[in-house]
Amino acid sequence: MPPLYLASGSPRRRELLTQIGVPFTSLSAQIDETPLPDEAPTTYVERLARGKAEAGLALLAVSKEGSSPCVIGADTAVVLEGKILGKPVDEADALAMLSALSNREHEVLTAIAVINNQRCETRVVRSLVRFRSIQVEEAKAYWASGEPHDKAGGYAIQGLAAIFVADLRGSYSAVVGLPLCETAELLGHFGIPCWQRLEGNKP
């Protein structure tokens, strides 16, 4: 079985991959996340997921670690009316994002890419999230909690912002940052099974 590396510093993605029983090693793969001119959100997240995976594989090649390793990269974008909402730069930016998302439905796009020395496969998962009405004082209190400071779209569905979510259509794990159904499928294509920690419990 090839060794697996996760090209992400996100603790949420580490937790999700651990949840489905897949051993891995984390890598820090930094790439430029600036959208290209007129780049569609779907194209953007897929490009970044692939770029992170490629950057991770390049790090392994430089360090000469392992044989035929696989690297998984992922990227998530919150999209409202075709516009990507990035991480808020300050409180005013975060409040503006939450105001725009209030009492409306938005898209969450998460792309994953799995790569080895021979090939790369990608998937893009689209989920729809509807927020209830968010009051200004709630938005200010949420910003003060510190949670939205480094989150795409200015919120974390798995955290305090869960109380804003009135409806979700699609993959919850994708909104958090890693679509587990599609991740398991892609890893299987590369000979990496899930539920590996259950093997010791077989009769």
Point out the residues that are catalytic.
Answer: 75
d(CA 56, CA 72): 8
d(CA 78, CA 155): 10
Residue 5, judged by CB atoms within 10 A of its CB (0-12, 13-18, 19+), counts as: buried
3-state secondary structure 97-115: HHHHHCCCEEEEEEEEEEE
**Residues 151/77, Cβ–Cβ less than 8 Å:** no
d(CA 40, CA 80): 12
